[in-house]
């Protein structure tokens, strides 16, 4: 009666249980054994010769129960032995109709009332779910461990609790565990890590991009470090090649200009040689000379354009520079041109190269003169001013609050239509034919850029032109 209850309990256990006698014959085979092997109790009871191993492995071979009965037996895998219990975690390929399963088997001796061994019992537990999770986890861990991105796990204090290979490689450390991240990278702060800021740092001659994430469950952070040294080098190369391209374009278009002019020189020289008329020859020679003049003006401007700007920056008072320059300008401007200076009383200091400022003003004033063939007025103004709201789309909001010196040159000349206005800063754009170089405003633009300033132009045909240049005020 008791034995029957026991058998029923064993039958209902959630693990597979089977037992063999000393001859290796199956004594017991419970419900879970039937489920995982597909072999019914009635089919296997009493069978020997490793019959029970067939639904596990598809061949007859020893199982932990056999080792319990005969430790001399050669067992194909490593068993773990704890006292009388023999254990192993393994994959059985034939279980569940050939799908296979990860199982944990433990076998024990089976004793009778007087403690004589009468057989062995084996418990089989399906651990596939746990094992596959473990395998997945190991895979993920391997990916992180060998990832080209440096990974560290930190406590809130910054102490490192885990780091991968790349992190050690990037920091050239042998070990990082227990070290503090803020000692390794003093450039970064807890605030930046906490808020997942993307940060670029230089360390050991390399450029890195860094970003942290909060690990709520770990009470800490994970930090990712990407090596962007190559990327930066590549970007620099692109910038250099862009520069080379603009130099190439500049020189080729310069060469083109000069070639055109020389064709003119040659033409007039030939005409002069061919004519018998001395007066005629003289007029050809005059034309020729005027072309030579504009060639040399072109070359001068190009040399000036190629010159490095901002060579000797210093703190200068704009009013003094303009006043000194205006004496020279007044002497060289035509008589029908009035030059008017209009300054604010307070100091107007900027940090700039004096020659650059002179260059800006000379270019704008000469252009203004060119725009007033019938004569007119050129007004140079300078005062402290904030950038007006209307230019916000060109400067960005940040600039609006700062103090600038606004230097403006205004004329009462012919003005410009929209098409011209759009092109005036382009190298070699000119509406003056052979007389122009198209480099004056290009030069002005470059200088203003270099001074971290802005240049705006307002002009309409017949209504004159106003150039406004904003240069940061140096106090
Ligand atoms: P250049 O004076 O040699 O033509 P710039 O670069 O100095 O070259 O000027 C480019 C063009 O911009 C001029 O040819 C002219 O059409 C236009 N421009 C510049 N300043 C003025 C101005 N004050 N009034 C009208 N047009 C101007
Ligand atoms: Mg000019």
pLDDT tens by residue, 30-43? 999 999 999 999 99
The minimum-distance atom of ligand 1 relative to the CA of 439 is 6
Per-residue pLDDT band at 243 (split at 50, 70, 90)? low
Whichever domain contains 176, its CATH number is 3.30.450.20
Residue 251 scores a pLDDT above 60: yes
Residue 330 scores a pLDDT above 70: yes
pTM above 0.75, yes or no: no
Judge if 328 and 431 occupy the same domain: yes
Judge if 209 and 238 occupy the same domain: no
138 located within any domain: no
Query: Where are the strands (E) in 268-387, listed by range?
Result: 313-317, 337-343, 349-353, 376-385
Measured CA to CA, the distance from residue 174 to residue 165 in angstroms comes to 10
Domain that holds residue 386: 314-472
Q: Compute the distance from residue 366 Cα to the ligand 2 centre, in Å.
A: 6
Q: Compute the distance from residue 417 Cα to the ligand 2 centre, in Å.
A: 17
Residue 215 scores a pLDDT above 80: yes
Per-residue pLDDT at 439: 82
Ligand 1 interacting residues, C-beta cut-off 6 A: 363, 367-368, 371, 411, 413-416, 420, 424, 429-432, 436-442, 465
Q: Partners of 409 in the beta sheet?
A: 380, 467
430 contacts 437 by C-beta, under 8 angstroms: yes
Per-residue pLDDT band at 407 (split at 50, 70, 90)? very high
Q: Taking residues 57-66, report their average pLDDT.
A: 96
Ligand showing the shortest atom-to-Cα distance for residue 420: 1
Per-residue pLDDT at 295: 79
Measured CA to CA, the distance from residue 240 to residue 450 in angstroms comes to 18
Residue 474 scores a pLDDT above 90: no
Residue 1 scores a pLDDT above 60: no
Ligand 1, residues 250, 418, 441, 462: which to mutate, most atoms within 8 A of Cβ? 441
The minimum-distance atom of ligand 1 relative to the CA of 431 is 14
Per-residue pLDDT at 97: 94
Per-residue pLDDT at 177: 94
Judge if 329 and 447 occupy the same domain: yes
Q: Compute the distance from residue 181 Cα to the ligand 1 centre, in Å.
A: 58
What average pLDDT is seen over the chain?
89
- Residue whose CA lies nearest to ligand 1 atom number 14: 430
**pLDDT tens digit sequence for 150-206:** 999 999 999 999 999 999 999 999 999 999 999 999 988 888 888 888 888 888 888
Whichever domain contains 343, its CATH number is 3.30.565.10
Measured CA to CA, the distance from residue 190 to residue 196 in angstroms comes to 10
Judge if 318 and 455 occupy the same domain: yes
Per-residue pLDDT band at 245 (split at 50, 70, 90)? low
Judge if 199 and 340 occupy the same domain: no
348 contacts 422 by C-beta, under 8 angstroms: no
Which residue has tokens 């008589």? 335
Per-residue pLDDT at 458: 94
Per-residue pLDDT band at 303 (split at 50, 70, 90)? low
Q: CB-based contacts of 418: which residues, under 8 Å, 6+ apart?
A: none
Q: CB-based contacts of 58: which residues, under 8 Å, 6+ apart?
A: 93, 94
Residue 416 scores a pLDDT above 90: yes
Judge if 392 and 439 occupy the same domain: yes
Measured CA to CA, the distance from residue 147 to residue 167 in angstroms comes to 9
Judge if 328 and 461 occupy the same domain: yes
Q: Taking residues 1-11, report their average pLDDT.
A: 81
**pLDDT tens digit sequence for 346-395:** 899 999 999 889 989 999 999 999 999 999 999 999 999 988 877 776 66
Residue that is last in its domain, among 169, 192, 227 = 227
Percent composition of the chain: helix, strand, coil (DSSP 3-state, to 5): 45, 25, 30
The minimum-distance atom of ligand 1 relative to the CA of 367 is 20
Q: Which residues surround the ion ligand 2 when the cut-off is CB under 5 Å?
A: 367, 440
Please state which of the ranges 276-280, 304-308, 320-324 shows the lowest mean pLDDT: 304-308
Residue 311 or residue 21, greater confidence: 21
**Token pair for residue 148?**
């080209």
Whichever domain contains 282, its CATH number is 1.10.287
Structural domains counted in the chain? 4
Per-residue pLDDT at 66: 96
Q: Compute the distance from residue 368 Cα to the ligand 1 centre, in Å.
A: 8
Residue 299 scores a pLDDT above 90: no
Residue 451 scores a pLDDT above 70: yes
Q: CB-based contacts of 62: which residues, under 8 Å, 6+ apart?
A: 50, 53, 73, 74, 75, 76
**pLDDT tens digit sequence for 68-126:** 999 999 999 999 999 999 999 999 999 999 999 999 999 999 998 898 999 999 999 99
Q: CB-based contacts of 41: which residues, under 8 Å, 6+ apart?
A: 29, 30, 33, 34
- Residue whose CA lies nearest to ligand 1 atom number 20: 367
Residue 271 scores a pLDDT above 70: yes
Closest CA to 453 of 268, 312, 310, 320: 310
Q: Partners of 466 in the beta sheet?
A: 410, 458
**φ/ψ bin of 310: left (φ > 0), alpha (ψ from -120 to 50), beta (otherwise):** left
Q: Compute the distance from residue 419 Cα to the ligand 1 centre, in Å.
A: 12
- 3-state SS class at 39: coil
Per-residue pLDDT at 399: 67
Per-residue pLDDT at 440: 87
C-alpha distances in Å from residue 370, one per residue of 338, 388, 430, 457: 13, 29, 12, 17
**φ/ψ bin of 219: left (φ > 0), alpha (ψ from -120 to 50), beta (otherwise):** left
Residue 305 scores a pLDDT above 60: no
Per-residue pLDDT at 37: 97
Closest CA to 349 of 279, 403, 288: 403
Measured CA to CA, the distance from residue 86 to residue 90 in angstroms comes to 13
Q: Partners of 209 in the beta sheet?
A: 200, 226
Judge if 416 and 343 occupy the same domain: yes
Residue 450 scores a pLDDT above 80: yes
Closest CA to 380 of 318, 328, 426, 439: 318
Residue 21 scores a pLDDT above 90: yes
Residue 249 scores a pLDDT above 60: yes
Percent of the chain with pLDDT over 90: 55
Per-residue pLDDT at 256: 73
Judge if 238 and 221 occupy the same domain: no
Judge if 364 and 398 occupy the same domain: yes
443 contacts 359 by C-beta, under 8 angstroms: yes
Residue that is last in its domain, among 251, 270, 304 = 304
Residue 19 or residue 446, greater confidence: 19
Judge if 178 and 318 occupy the same domain: no
Closest CA to 314 of 355, 369, 268: 355
Judge if 347 and 418 occupy the same domain: yes
Measured CA to CA, the distance from residue 250 to residue 302 in angstroms comes to 9
CA 142 to chain CA centroid, nearest Å: 26
């Amino acid at each position: 009666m008791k034995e029957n209850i026991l058998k029923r309990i064993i039958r209902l256990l959630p693990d597979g249980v089977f037992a063999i006698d000393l001859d290796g014959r199956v004594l017991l085979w419970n419900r879970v054994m039937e489920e995982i092997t597909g072999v019914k109790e009635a089919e296997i009871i009493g069978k020997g010769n490793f019959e029970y191993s067939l639904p596990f492995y598809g061949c007859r071979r020893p199982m932990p129960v056999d080792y319990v009965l005969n430790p001399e037996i050669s067992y194909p895998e490593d068993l773990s032995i704890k006292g009388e219990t023999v254990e192993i975690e393994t994959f059985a390929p034939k279980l569940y109709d050939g799908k296979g399963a990860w199982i944990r088997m433990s076998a024990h001796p089976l004793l009778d009332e007087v403690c004589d061994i009468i057989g062995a019992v084996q418990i089989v537990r399906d651990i596939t779910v746990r094992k596959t999770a473990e395998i997945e986890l190991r895979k993920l861990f391997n990916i992180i461990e060998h990832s080209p991105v440096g990974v560290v796990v930190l406590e809130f204090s910054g102490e490192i609790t885990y780091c991968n290979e790349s992190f050690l490689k990037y920091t050239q450390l042998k070990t990082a565990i227990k070290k503090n991240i803020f000692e390794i990278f003093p450039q970064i702060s807890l605030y930046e890590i906490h808020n997942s800021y993307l940060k670029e740092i230089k360390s050991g001659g390399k450029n890195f991009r860094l970003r942290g994430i909060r690990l709520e469950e770990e009470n800490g952070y994970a930090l990712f470090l990407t090596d962007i040294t190559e990327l930066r080098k590549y970007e620099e190369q692109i910038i250099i090649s862009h520069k080379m391209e603009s130099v190439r374009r500049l020189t080729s278009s310069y060469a083109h200009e000069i070639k055109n002019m020389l064709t003119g020189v040659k033409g007039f020289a030939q005409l002069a040689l061919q004519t018998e008329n001395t007066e005629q020859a003289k007029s050809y020679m005059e034309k020729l000379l005027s072309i030579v003049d504009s060639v040399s003006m072109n070359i001068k401007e190009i040399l000036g354009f190629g010159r490095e700007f901002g060579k000797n920056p210093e703190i200068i008072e704009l009013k003094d520079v303009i006043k000194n320059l205006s004496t020279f300008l007044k002497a060289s401007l035509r008589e029908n041109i009035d030059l008017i200076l209009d300054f604010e009383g307070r100091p107007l200091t900027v940090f700039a190269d004096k020659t650059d400022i002179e260059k800006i003003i000379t270019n704008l004033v000469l252009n203004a003169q060119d725009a007033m063939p019938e004569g007119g007025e050129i007004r140079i103004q300078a005062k402290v001013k904030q950038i007006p709201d209307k230019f916000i789309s060109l400067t960005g909001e940040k600039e609006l609050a700062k103090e600038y010196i606004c230097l403006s040159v205004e004329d009462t000349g012919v003005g410009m239509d929209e098409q011209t206005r759009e092109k005036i800063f382009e190298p070699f754009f000119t509406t003056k034919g052979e007389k122009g170089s198209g480099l004056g405003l290009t030069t002005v633009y470059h200088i203003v850029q270099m001074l971290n300033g802005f240049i705006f132009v307002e002009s309409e045909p017949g209504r004159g032109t106003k150039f406004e240049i904003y240069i940061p005020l140096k106090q």
